Structure 1
Amino acid sequence: MDSTSKKLANICKADRISDLPDSLLIAILALLPIETAVRTCILSKRWRPLCESLPNLEFSDYRNPGRHFTDFVDRFLMRRPNDLKIAKFRLDCYRGDYYRDRVNEWIMNALGRDLKEIDLLFRFQTCINWSKNFFNMCTSVEVLLLSGKISVEIPENVPLPRLRVLGFNNVTISSYESVGKLLLNCPVLEDLKIVDCEWLTGNSLSICGPVLKRLSCCLISYDEVLRTLIDTPRLENLKIGCYTGGDNDILFKLNLPFLKIAEIDICAHEMGQGVDWVFGLLKQINHVKILTLSDNTVEILSLADDDDDRYEFPPFHNLTELVINVLDYFDETLLDDFLQNSPNLESLVFPQSLVCIDESFRCSWGGSQSRVPECLSAHLKTVYIKNFAGYDEELAFVKYLLAYGSALRNVSIEISNLSKDDEAWQELLNLQSESTTCKLSLIDENGTCSL
């Protein structure tokens, strides 16, 4: 072996990685799943103590259920030096029969280490009740996410001075009122999510936050009457949903001057319910820039009586993007109302379809519009339609767009179950060839653009 080969062999044998400083090695290990990081540390004595210093601890029993998982978490937490902090602690449990009694101890151990982020997801058969000191131990926490089979009992006057992100997802909460009191003690909260929770008592939910920017709230209240007050003057992004059968109401204490994005999903338990609520909500947020309506909301709005003064359509002067989901019911007058009252609209999206399932409720575009909307002649640039099946109502709408859309630059149509031999396909090709300013893009089920 010549000298060059010997040098290369020595370089290959050298453990260059272990010569790196501890801080850099820990940063490398932190990029790996915790089980992989532990297995990696077994390869070198130099690496083994570093595993105990990982700042982010994420445990899941999905692949390692039972006693093995319990022993793994126990060893990892108990061997960790008491003065070593934890930045993030995530616990994702599918099978809890073996260690339900250990969960509280793991959580309290992590909270006692100046924890910044805690994310708990429990998929047990029944709710788990944890220590009443849980919230009192969260004074250093900045991100708190609770999901699944968790019973949340919020004590009085718990200060959470650093909490920026709070999420309750499918958990059981003691009362609506307790959440309002908790939020009063979160002065820097910026992101709040309350989704599909079960509420044991109460009928009044107060959502307040002087610096709250993002709010996602989905409530289920079939039987009780629920009043929701939103006092968030700095809100920028709102996602509001409610599945209701009662006389519920949402009230914004003040105007939301910074609101830019809103998504509304209101589902009525019975036909005719929710109309007042949805129209009232639209009037309170009509200065948004991006608005998304679920198919449930579209159905409620479509069933409103146009002759009723209570349902006068509000102007949307700032709206630039409108997303409309269509499934069961869609009245052409609803879309026309939006177009007529959104003079600066630039983008129109139908992410589900353009026509509803029941053919008796399908739109009939062509001569029903009283005047061409200002947005169509001046600002509307892009339209996206998914699941285009070639119905006459769909073709009529595309013709309407191309005929009056002076500002249109691109109409993208995702084809559904439509053969290139169908008359509708050929008609779309003819429309494309006749259009001089707008590009008509046909996208097949493989994502291939045909034009």
Structure 2
Amino acid sequence: METLRKMKGCGSLRNRDRISELPDALLLQILSLIPTKDAVATSVLSKRWRFLCKMIPNLKFGYCGGGLERFSDTVCRFLHSHKAPVLQSLHLDMFLENESTIEIGVLLGIAFGRNVRELELEVYSSDEPYKFPTSLYNCGTGTLETLKLGPCVLVDVPFPVCLKALRTLRLYAVRYKDIGSVVNLLSGCPVLQNLEVMLYPHDDSDVNTFTIDVPSLQRLTLATDGEEYEYFSSYVINAPHLKYLTLRRLIDDDSSILIENMPELVEAHISGVSDVIYANIHGSLTSVKRLSLEILSPLDLTKFPTNRIFSKLVYLELHAHGPEWWNLLMIMLDTSPNLQVLKLISHWCSEGDMRWSQPKYVAECLVNSLETLVWEKYGGGTEEDDKEVAQYILKNASRLKTATFSYIIVQPEKRLEKLKELESMVRASNSCQLVFK
């Protein structure tokens, strides 16, 4: 703001007002990137800047005390004076404490009247959660395309809703009144493509099964905060057109996941989940081309059917996490005949009850398709196991072009020792280039 004043006040040709020479479209982009209260302050510069302030497409307001009614009145007056035909986005960041929240509903109603396309409502409260106005769930003739709610927001939807234009929904640690609220909300979004759900445990929640039944869905992220709390006893996912799936930090062995249908899935990131949960979803991932896996506990091999083939998988990222991590590696190598890129990331782990032993057979992908091996933090897992696995891959990957190793070891002499160790290993591919980082 001070910079703008100085540039406006400068009279020399060399230091003339260059900002005001910019086109309106570019100035509106700049004003959208700074806090709205600072953007509004530029209205004192000239009549042109007053006009621009009423055309800003992206607005963000924050409240952290000092009178919610006064804050709401100020924002409402600004929205009423807004001249843009469509309000691209409105972000409200609010810290509430023992205050009546009726003013927020009025404010949101005005924003919907201004054809807001993206609404982000962040509420933090030491008291009761803020109940998102039920009436706003039925804006089917509106323009709302993106809705982001959380964390202290209550989703209470007693009847089916109508959000016909909504394509992106983000629910960050919100509370759900009951199972029906989840079902009614998601079933009322017929063109929903992107859904991100961050789950957080609430003692007063009546939701045991979290059901995602959205035929139009293409991207799904389902995550928890990673703490060892019981969230929901089961998850049900029915998304036949899903293409991108992320499951993160689902660690409760007592929970179950049922994935009914995902034939179009292209890419999946499964991280920080238990072996029990992964066993539940393993068979639903066979259509993927790119897969990232991080399983936190040893695998019970008896839970994995041998007839599941990842025929389309060309890129696999596997975190070596927990004892006997190579059980998962061998399962994936054996069932991925067309794998081209293998990325391994070692994490520190304690000694397991079993030791790696060279398989009696060679995975088909090693002989026919694997071209790239990347191993990050090599030596960061069980050191002897890392060495044996590397030896197995290099000895049998006949089409390998590059094998890149980065070390977790910092001592120069130790790193040199590991480098020489890798260089001395037998390589099936004469053209394989070893790269050390």
Where do residues 1-150 of structure 1 align in structure 2 (5 Å cutoff)? 11-12=13-14, 15=17, 17-18=19-20, 22-60=24-62, 65-67=64-66, 74-81=73-80, 84=83, 85-93=86-94, 95-97=95-97, 101=101, 102-126=103-127, 127-137=129-139, 139-150=142-153
Q: How many residues align structurally? A: 412
CA spacing shift, 1:20–1:99, aligned 2, 3 Å:
farther
Q: CA deviation at 1:98?
A: 8.5
Q: Find the counterpart in structure 2 of residue 332 from structure 1.
A: 326
State the secondary structure of the residue aligned to 1:351: strand
Any stretches of 5+ residues in structure 1 without a counterpart? Answer: 1-7, 269-273, 444-451
Q: Find the counterpart in structure 1 of residue 388 from structure 2.
A: 396
CA spacing shift, 1:320–1:23, aligned 2, 3 Å:
closer
- The amino acid across from 2:412 in the alignment is K
Residues 123 and 150, structure 2, Cα contact 8 Å, conserved in 1: yes
The C-alpha deviation readout for 1:194-231, integer Å capped at 9, x for no partner, is 22144722444432233211111236983864251x33
Q: CA deviation at 1:376?
A: 1.3
The C-alpha deviation readout for 1:65-94, integer Å capped at 9, x for no partner, is 43399866743441343573422011223x
Residues 240 and 264, structure 1, Cα contact 8 Å, conserved in 2: yes
4+ residue stretches of structure 1 with deviation over 6 A?
none
CA spacing shift, 1:439–1:278, aligned 2, 3 Å:
same
CA spacing shift, 1:371–1:105, aligned 2, 3 Å:
same
Q: Residues of 2 paired with 1:425 and 1:154: CA distance?
A: 62
TM-score (norm 1): 0.80
Q: CA deviation at 1:235?
A: 1.1
Residues 279 and 311, structure 1, Cα contact 8 Å, conserved in 2: no
Q: Residues of 1 paired with 2:124 and 2:161: CA distance?
A: 27
Q: CA deviation at 1:23?
A: 4.7
Where do residues 44-443 of structure 1 align in structure 2 (5 Å cutoff)? 44-60=46-62, 65-67=64-66, 74-81=73-80, 84=83, 85-93=86-94, 95-97=95-97, 101=101, 102-126=103-127, 127-137=129-139, 139-198=142-201, 200-218=205-223, 222=230, 225-226=233-234, 228=236, 230-241=237-248, 242-246=250-254, 248-252=256-260, 254=261, 256-265=262-271, 267-268=273-274, 275=276, 278-296=278-296, 299=297, 302-304=298-300, 306=301, 308=302, 311-312=305-306, 314-353=308-347, 356-361=348-353, 363-365=355-357, 368-389=358-379, 391-422=383-414, 425-429=416-420, 431-432=422-423, 436-443=430-437
TM-score (norm 2): 0.82
Q: Residues of 1 paired with 2:48 and 2:69: CA distance?
A: 26
Q: Residues of 2 paired with 1:172 and 1:244: CA distance?
A: 19
State the secondary structure of the residue aligned to 2:120: strand
The C-alpha deviation readout for 1:249-299, integer Å capped at 9, x for no partner, is 4131x4x3321011234745xxxxx63x53342112212111222232xx2
Q: Residues of 2 paired with 1:175 and 1:411: CA distance?
A: 52
Residues 123 and 148, structure 1, Cα contact 8 Å, conserved in 2: yes
CA spacing shift, 1:227–1:67, aligned 2, 3 Å:
closer
Q: Residues of 2 paired with 1:87 and 1:58: CA distance?
A: 11
Identical counterparts, % of pairs: 26
Any stretches of 5+ residues in structure 2 without a counterpart? Answer: 1-9
Residues 201 and 229, structure 2, Cα contact 8 Å, conserved in 1: no
RMSD, aligned CA: 3.2
State the secondary structure of the residue aligned to 1:251: strand
Q: CA deviation at 1:143?
A: 0.3
Q: Residues of 2 paired with 1:258 and 1:195: CA distance?
A: 24
State the secondary structure of the residue aligned to 1:357: coil
